[in-house]
Amino acid sequence: MDRNLKKWQKGANPHGGKNGGANRGLRASEQQGNERKAEYTLPGGFFPLRRDFKGYQSLDTFCPPLHDISVRTGTRIGVVPRATDFRTVVRIEGNSDKIRAAIQFIREWTKETNPDSQKHGAFPKLQAYNQKRVNRTRRTEQQAMVQSKFLEEPPKNDTSLHKLEAAWDENDPERFRELQKQLGGSSFPAFDPIRRQLGCWIFWDSEINSFKLMGEIQKNLEEAKIRVQNTYYTIKANSYILEAPIFLVKPFPTEKVAMMAYSTPYFQITTARSSQGFDLEKPKRVFIAKSISSGDQKLQAGAKELGVEGDGNQKRFEGAVIEALRRVNYLRGMNITMMASLGRFTIQKWENFKDHDDSYSLDEFHKFLNRNDWESEVTKELGDKTIERILLDTLMAVPSNVLVAEEPRVQNLADLKPTYGASFTMLCPKGEVGLGNLRYDIEYDTTDGMASNVSKRWSRLDQENELTTQMDVVMLDIREDHFSWNFKLMNARTVDESTLPPAYTSFVKSMTLDMAALERGDPDPVRSIPEEFVETPPILSVSQTRSYKFQVTGTGYVVELQCFTNCFFDRAVDPRNPPRKEVEPRWGIRIYHKNWACTFAASGLMGIGERLPYDTSHSAISEKFFTVEKKDIDGGTPADKGLEKFRSVLDKIEGIVATANKKPRKAETEEEEEDLMVFSDDEDE
């Protein structure tokens, strides 16, 4: 063995004192250049080797985890048995940073594989005798014993116990077996917290097709019944699948409707820095009303999903919103988002219909909207570069009796600073295949001239890397140069960061808003800047945002003008170094109420059988989510008119956008005309 390997690295303490905490077990020597050698001793009894072990050449065969660490950190790793105490030594070669990273990964690997390894040789902590502590321990043990009896079979023929029934509206055996699976099995272990907390037995009675509850305290049984029924509604809400959007069509006098190509080209920049037309994932078509007639011919309402202004549109709108908020009331462990966005109504699937340059009659258009064999969406961007370029200045010039800054410290709209955010979509960790990929959202505020984090959260996406849609209402306006509103309510399951692998947690802990990149005008100022070598999780896409937040005067509604840049990584081509596709910046408008996020935040903290703290009646939901303050410019809004007020806010903002549309910017020079053709994000700074 090399004599230098016996020397401890400078600053390390072989006995594990204060000077050697991070480098315990590390022996290294200076080699030529930056190369070092180090040894790390594995815990006792860990990783027994076969006699025919060959060293470096067979590491991938004898210990794949160490081989992966070697490849991941760029080091050379070998293992040798130590005859003195029969422990295994890992020998590592590479530069100092890579060696430290390799040792850190080895520690995490041994801890995950053998969690009790760090407890070997540790003495129990001695505590002085304390009668209060003894009494508390006895009470805890007695309480646990009492609670444990409710997890067993209930007593038979005990007339002293109170009884209740909690009916479930499920008569289909297959459906019930699926619900039983979601509750953990035939004994329904998901109800164990209710059994312990309320001291009752909960079991299924197949004769009456409902749950039976037995206990000594009637009040606790009534509370348990409510929580059992809430659990049923939670499962139903989790399994809800939205079949189709609800279309509310604004009236338009016309004879024909044309399906045209979505004619606003955005550009992508690949790793080769070459620009070419980009179809934003799927080719799209947009409906435009043509051949305006002199008569007042209007589209007539047919199916339930189709409504026309003046023909029950408001009732359909309110019905969809109230139904969704009643259902979401029972969702637990979810990140819930509700907002309205303004964009172009586009079609992504049209193969079974006419060519895109043909026209449709009103009857054909009516039948088209009621079919289910096509896909549509309202774009997140406005889809008009001229409006996108001047809309920020237009909103800044709006009088204070219409819009003010959402940040109360900003008195003048000209002083409004943007917030910066990013959304990272990552592949799910190994071993979680089928659970859905992960999404991490983070946002920074720059009002004080410094970056301060205002929100961050993890979410579990569905199988299509999307949020689950609970409500989708499209307020359709297909007149030329007009936009459509899309009011959505979406959810995704929350994720506990402590359960994620180190690669994911270290990546987000080093997340920051790079002020230097911000000054340079980089499109991705929100980035991860690790202090040392860390593994990067497999990222699928990144969306960087810059948002200007206004507030409708006298209300709690926030108008957010957002510039966003999407970047995609094609890991199917190269998993280790995927090609990068970056879409040029686009602008969109979103509207939501300040109280919505606060109300929905309770979902992530709810226990089994609980629900969000609001009443589900029509008037209560309207008052909770849509009633504005009494200082409203219209003199106040009754509770049952909140949804009407919300739609009037949408109309007001749409009118401001229409004002910007009437004042297009014209290029006065050839250079300016060229700038208008290729959108530049820096000009709106």
3-class secondary structure for 461-498?
Answer: CCCCCCCEEEEEEEEECCCCCCCEEEEEEEEEEECCHH
Q: Phi-psi region for residue 554, left (φ > 0), alpha (ψ -120 to 50) or beta? A: left
The most distant pair of C-alpha atoms in the chain lies apart, rounded to whole Å, by: 100
Please give the Cα distance from 379 to 125 (Å, whole number).
Answer: 62
Q: Identify the sign of the CA torsion 447, 451, 455, 458.
A: positive
Helix ranges (H only) for 612-641 are: 618-626
> How high is the pLDDT of residue 438?
93
Residue intervals in the chain for CATH 3.30.1370.10: 3-119
Of 543, 507, 509, nearest to 524 by C-alpha is 543
Pairing mode of beta strands 87-94, 526-528:
unpaired
Mean pLDDT by 10 residues, the chain (685 residues): 37 38 39 70 63 52 77 82 68 86 86 60 58 79 72 77 78 68 76 85 80 87 89 85 83 71 67 44 66 35 40 78 92 93 83 59 74 81 85 90 90 90 90 79 88 89 85 86 91 90 88 87 83 76 94 92 90 82 89 92 87 86 74 50 86 88 50 38 38
CATH 3.30.1370.10 fits 3-119, yes or no: yes
Q: Which amino acid is at 25?
A: G
All residues at 6 or more sequence positions from 458 whose CB lies less than 8 Å from its CB, including other chains? 438, 439, 440, 494, 495, 496, 497, 500
Please give the Cα distance from 477 to 254 (Å, whole number).
Answer: 13
> How high is the pLDDT of residue 69?
86
Cross-strand pairs, 166: 211
> How high is the pLDDT of residue 297?
34
SS3 658: helix
For 95, the token pair is: 């530069």
For 147, the token pair is: 């609670």
Of 286, 300, 284, nearest to 257 by C-alpha is 286
CATH architecture of 142-238: 2-Layer Sandwich (3.30)
- Quick check: 620 and 652 in contact, CB under 8 A? no
All residues at 6 or more sequence positions from 673 whose CB lies less than 8 Å from its CB, including other chains? 667
Beta strands in 10-121 (DSSP E): 27-30, 36-41, 76-82, 87-94
All residues at 6 or more sequence positions from 34 whose CB lies less than 8 Å from its CB, including other chains? 95, 96
> How high is the pLDDT of residue 592?
95
> How high is the pLDDT of residue 477?
84
Q: Which amino acid is at 446?
A: T
Of 199, 325, 214, 312, nearest to 596 by C-alpha is 325
